[in-house]
A = this chain, B = another copy of it.
Amino acid sequence: MYIHGDMIIGRQSVRGAAGVVHAVDPARHATLEPAFGLASGAELAAACALAEQAFDSYRALPLERRAAFLEAIAARILDIGPALIERAGLESGLPQLRLEGERMRTVNQLRLFAKVVRDGHFLGAALDSALPERTPPRPDLRLRKIPLGPVAVFGASNFPLAFSVAGGDTASALAAGCPVVVKAHNAHLGTSELVARAVQQAAIDCDMPEGVFSMLIGEGRTIGAELVAHPAIKAVGFTGSRQGGLSLMRIAAGRPEPIPVYAEMSSINPFFLLPGALEGGAAKLGQGFVDSLTLGVGQFCTNPGLVIGLEGEALNAFSVAAAEALQQKASGTMLTPGIHQAYVEAIERRSAISGLQLLARGAAADSEGPACAAQPALYGCDAATFLATPALEEEIFGPAAVMVRCRDEAELLAMAEHVEGQLTATVHATAADNRLAGALLPLLERKAGRILFNGFPTGVEVSHAMVHGGPFPATSDSRTTSVGATAIDRFLRPVCYQAVPAELLPEALRDDNPLGLARVVDGVLKTVG
């Protein structure tokens, strides 16, 4: 498939006329062809108007049509073949195997939401029977959830497929019945165009209303802000920096009609090492931790950036093993020159913090190595230093972490109480640690969206029980997840139908339950069959 440098606006390919931008190959620090045209306000307005027009007809389609559309998107993405992986690799510096895995995840995500749509449980259907004899009489009441309206999606730099044009936000919004307008991430414009064309083709093949999907290209600060402010847009999905997320939250809250923003922002993912787990397992844990820290050049939202343990020989053994493992890790190409520059500057700032020791660095890139190469770093300090140094809580996007030594259990628990909201919290423990782990667990529940034992946080399963979310500033809205089946709930709102004539009721609420939904009937959950 050829990359034109175009936006996708409904059924059209549109060349933006407000200037040009190029994608960059970070490994060579070189501009990639072609040039992409930037959207003007008129093109943004056209995409939003089409989305608004498409909304009622898209949401009225049978659920089966919606599910088939999601599956068709998955199929069209696979149809692009190796060209997609090649372009994504050029634009992101990510290796082929990782990108192939990410493509499969993207496709599986779309297929999961197709299942979620067919299942219909997300509609939250509930029926309360009329009680005409009661004083006062109770009318017939029926509840279902409907989609919010057109959704703006901002692709993330670090997952050019799974959190981008046809990633989790887009899949869950389309599943909910919301048209989507994507703002492509400028770090992977060619990848974005290829995927957007696949979505467009799927929409045409499935005879979807025009406007169910569009993709704009532009500078984030301008076109992104205009998109969130546009009256047709009713919700926002975003994965990126804290600064970027906060900026969109402010715009959304300042609109004449405020709208929800689902921003996944920053997380340092505390990683607790309890004594039983360190006893005898320190060396293996050190290696495993470093593998997780440096996976994908540390560019995961769930990257473990904060290790917490009780000071002593076992923690020293972990530290030695981690330092040795880290020194073996090569510098890897980061996603963009800008991200690399930010990493270098963050490391410089961190190195100036008093009370912080540099425990190890990864292998330096040689002069003939790739550009934008990040050299991993592991620091250490005591808990008193960490607790007194707010800068240490800032996320460094990349392969850098701090190991915090606590004097005793009380200090370890104080660390858990102290940290900001997180996407994940990891605990390494054995049965011998159950008392301490039991004391830690309620603290971590208040801090993180996912608590994992004896594993590594850098793997986010796409399934029904996953939560990829968490208290602020991990996300803007702790009540939700951006990964997993319940991500669809973000784009829905309930409507009650009171005494609506049978022939006007939505299918989901009819007496004969033609969709075979699980429904709450007079307060009792009833499944079919």
Quick check: A464 and B522 within 8 Å, CB to CB?
Answer: yes
Q: Which chain A residues in 457-504 approach chain B with CB under 8 Å?
A: 459, 461, 463-467, 469, 471-473, 476-481, 484-486, 492-501, 503-504
Binary CB contact string for chain A from 270 to 281 against chain B (1 if under 8 A, 0 otherwise): 000000000000
Contact with B along A51-92 (1 / 0, CB 8 A): 000001000100000000000000000000000000000000
Chain A, residues 111-136, CB within 8 Å of chain B (1/0): the string is 00001000101001011100000001
Instruction: Assess the A501–B453 pair: CB atoms within 8 A.
Output: yes
Shortest Cβ gap from A463 to chain B (Å):
4
In the complex, the answer to whether B465 meets A142 with C-beta atoms within 8 Å is: yes
Nearest chain B CB to A228 CB, angstrom units: 14
Question: Which residues from B are CB-within-8-Å of A437?
Answer: 501, 504
Q: Interface on A for B, CB 8 Å cutoff? A: 56, 60, 115, 119, 121, 124, 126-128, 136, 138-139, 141-143, 146, 148-149, 249-250, 253, 257-258, 260, 421, 429, 431, 434, 437-438, 441-442, 445-446, 448-455, 459, 461, 463-467, 469, 471-473, 476-481, 484-486, 492-501, 503-504, 518, 520, 522-523, 525-527
Query: Are A260 and B143 neighbours in the complex by a CB distance under 8 Å?
Result: no
A258 touches B518 (CB 8 A): no
3 nearest interchain CB pairs? A452-B498, A467-B496, A143-B465
Q: Find out whether the CB atom of B498 lies under 8 angstroms from the CB atom of A463.
A: no
Q: Given the complex, which residues of B lie within 8 Å of A438, measured CB to CB?
A: 504
Task: Please state if A253 and B249 are interface contacts (CB–CB under 8 Å).
Answer: yes
Which residues of chain B are within 8 angstroms of A478 by Cβ–Cβ distance? 148, 493
* Chain B: minimal CB distance from A426 (Å): 9
Q: How far is the CB of A110 from chain B (nearest CB, A)?
A: 15
- Is there an interface contact between B499 and A455, defined as CB atoms closer than 8 Å? yes
Complex Cα spacing A142 to B149, Å: 30
A425 to B: closest C-beta gap in Å? 10
Q: Given A431-B501, A461-B139, A442–B56 Cβ distance below 8 Å?
A: yes
B128, B136, B139: the one within 8 Å of A464 (CB) = B128
What residues on B are CB-neighbors of A459 within 8 Å?
A: 136, 139
A434-B469 CB under 8 A given contacts A149-B446, A478-B148, A498-B455: no
Chain B minimum-CB-distance residue to A56: B442
In angstroms, Cα B495 to Cα A473, docked, is 16
Question: Is the CB–CB distance between A465 and B127 below 8 Å?
Answer: yes
Contacts of A148 in B (CB 8 A): 478-479
Task: Select one of B126, B139, B450, B500 contacting A498, CB under 8 A.
Answer: B450
Q: How far is the CA of A148 from the CA of B249 in the complex (A)?
A: 20
Quick one: given A258-B472, A453-B498, are A493 and B479 in contact (CB under 8 Å)?
Answer: yes
Give the docked Cα–Cα distance between A463 and B126 (Å). 10
- Determine the chain B residues whose CB is within 8 A of the CB of A126 once the complex forms: 464-465, 485-486
Given A464-B523, A525-B527; A449-B495 close (CB under 8 Å): yes
**Inter-subunit contact A434/B479 (CB<8 Å):** no
Q: Give the CA-CA distance A463 to B480 in the complex, in Å.
A: 25
Task: List chain B residues, Cβ under 8 A from A495.
Answer: 445, 448-451, 467
* New contact pairs (4) apart from A143-B465, A450-B496, CB-CB < 8 Å: A136-B459, A139-B455, A249-B253, A434-B501
Query: How many Å lie between the Cα of A309 and that of B125 in the bound state?
Result: 31
The complex places the Cα of A470 from the Cα of B194 at a distance, in Å, of 38
Give the residue of B260, B472, B484, B527 whose beta carbon is less than 8 angstroms from that of A257: B472
Q: Which B residue sits closest to A140, measured CB to CB? A: B465
A520 and B448 within 8 A (CB): no
| Most chain B CB atoms below 10 A, which of A141, A438, A471 | A141
